Structure 1
Amino acid sequence: MQKGKVLSLEDRIPKIKEHRRRKANRRLIFLLTLFFLLIACVVYIQSPLSQINQIVVYGNDLVTTKDILSVSSLKKGENIWKINKEQAKKNLMAIPEVKKAEVRMEFPNNIVINIKEYSPIAQIVSEKEFLPVLENGTILNKSTLLADAPLLINFKTGTYLEELVAQLKEFPSEILNAVSEIHYDPKETDKYHIYLFMNDGFEISATIPTLAAKMIHYPSIASQLDSKVKGVINLEVGSFFKAYDEEEEKSEGEEER
């Protein structure tokens, strides 16, 4: 059996010294790296690179960029590491038109604000003004004429308007876009009664609580009618059509009596 080779102390000393030297070099490199990183951080914090250079806003249409920046409380030149993104987001969510807000940093020193707004679902006619009504029921106090939103006439802020908006939210987009005007016309037997005037010339008599459920059948009903004969489609209880000529004949007969 062969005995293992035993190194003398003289042979081991150079290897121990080399090991210690390498270990000391690694420690020195680590300390130097850490030192320069700290210096770089101090220089960065003191330099313009740590200050907000630009604030970019995306997704806003109803709210101006100026108003968003003002409400967010974010300002150019502010230290980018001292901003409170959650507080800025909370401030933005307080804007009635804002449905969702995101605030994030973008390297090296820019702030990006992404806004998602509530969509206008109608516009209420008030003293010759056209005030947008959002899908959350908010009426904006700024006159804007929207091409695709139906006009709401004789409505006021309150239960009937809120319930109507809730119903309109359930409309398929193609049916909502087909509505030109909605008139609030309460009756003694139905305080929720309304008239809808469609872009294709038909008129609809309906009640707000069942409006969405009944209007989903409108394309099918309209397709079965003669497009040249206009009149009122009654969707209050069942569904039936009465031409304007019949309405006029009925009125004339009552007058003769």
Structure 2
Amino acid sequence: MGKKKVVSIEDRIPTLKQERKKKANRRLIFYLSIFFFLISIIVYLQSPLSHVKTIDISGNSLVKNEEVLETSDIRNGMNIWTINKSDVTQALQENPVIQRAEVDRKLPWTIDINITEADLVGYVKQEAKHYPVLGTGNVLQEREQQYASGQAPLLLKFSDEAYLQQMAQELADLPASIVQLISEIHWQPSDDNQHKILLYMNDGYIVDSTIRRFAENMRVYPSIVSQLDPESEGVIHIGAGVYFEAFNSGAAESPDDEQKTGDADAQ
């Protein structure tokens, strides 16, 4: 058997000293890094670098940027870390138009405010002024306009607030693509049916319907129109049943039957 090589303590001492020195240096660098990092944070917090320079507002159309800024009470030059996000969010959501508000910090100096507004479902007209109606049924009396924007229909003759709220809620549940097809909605209550409404559509058709289950019933409108002759004029009845009544004919026709539609148009 070969002899084992014996390393004396004296030979190992330089190596041990070098390893200990490396560990001490690494420990020193670690502590110095933490120290300078903490110093950097303190300098940042006390310097203009932590002051708000940019306020980005998105998602709003009914509420103006100036109104959001005034309500949030955030101003350029404020320390970004003194802003209480929950307080700002709560203040913004007290506005009936704002359903949800999200406030975030984007370092080093930007505040981001994202607004989610309640659905605009229509306008009511009072003394030549137009007032937005939200999906909640709220009429924004403080936001009068000379003209309706065209993004939502006019809601006319709704003299009873309860029926206006029902109509607004139904419109909020209806896809926006169909809401935009509606020009006017007239409330036409009768002794037999207090929920009766008449719609004037942007494509020229008139729809006789009811507030009850309006969102559910009206979803079939595009399919109904696609089965009608584009030159035809008349009233589409959408309620308990669905049928088309041409202006130039006393006969009513079902849009579910294309052949029957063609025959009726020819009369």
Correspondence for 2:37: 37
- 1:172: how far off? 4.0
Once the two structures are superposed, the pairs formed by residues 181-220 of structure 1 within 5 Å of their partners are: 181-220=184-223
Report the secondary structure of 2:95's partner residue: coil
Give the Cα–Cα distance (whole angstroms) in 2 for the partners of residues 151 and 133 of structure 1.
9
Query: What is the correspondence of 1:164-183 to structure 2 with a 5 Å cutoff?
Result: 164-183=167-186
**Which amino acid is 2:69 matched to?**
L
What SS does the corresponding residue of 2:121 show, helix, strand or coil? strand
Comparing 120-129 with 89-98, which one deviates more in the overlay? 89-98
Residue 157 of structure 2 is matched in structure 1 by 154
Query: Do residues 118 (structure 1) and 118 (structure 2) align?
Result: yes
2:136 alignment partner, SS class? coil
Note closer, same or farther for the CA distance 1:217–1:16 as it changes in structure 2 (3 Å cut): closer
| Superposed CA RMSD | 2.7
Which digits, 9 at most, give the CA deviation of each residue in 1:36-65, with x for residues without a partner?
223222221211012222211122211111
Task: Name the count of aligned residue pairs.
Answer: 247
Alpha-carbon offset, residue 195 of structure 1: 1.7
Q: 1:11 to 1:182 in 2, by over 3 A?
A: same
* Structure 1, 146-155 or 18-27: larger mean CA deviation: 18-27
Say if 2:119 and 2:172, in contact at 8 Å, map to a contact too: no
The answer to whether the 8 Å contact 2:122/2:132 transfers is yes
- Cα 1:219–1:57, aligned 2, differ >3 Å: closer, same or farther? closer
Please list, as runs of the form range in 1=range in 2, the aligned pairs for 1:1-257 lying within 5 A after superposition. 1-141=1-141, 142-144=143-145, 145-156=148-159, 158-222=161-225, 230-242=233-245
TM-score, length of structure 1 as denominator length: 0.82
Residue 107 of structure 1 deviates from its aligned partner by 2.4
1:167 counterpart letter in structure 2: E
Tell me the TM-score normalized by structure 2.
Answer: 0.79
**Per-residue Cα deviation, 1:56-101 (whole angstroms, up to 9, x for no partner):** 1122211111111122232322222232223322322222222332
2 CA distance for matches of 1:57 and 1:214?
37
- The range that moved more, 148-157 or 104-113, is 148-157
**Rounded Cα–Cα distance in structure 2 between residues aligned with 1:148 and 1:158:** 22
The one-letter amino acid paired with 1:205 is D
Structure 1 range deviating more: 207-216 or 226-235 = 226-235
Structure 2: 5+ residue stretches without partners: 251-267
The one-letter code sitting in structure 2 at the alignment partner of 1:163 is: Q
Shift of 1:221: 4.6
Identical residues among aligned pairs (%)? 41
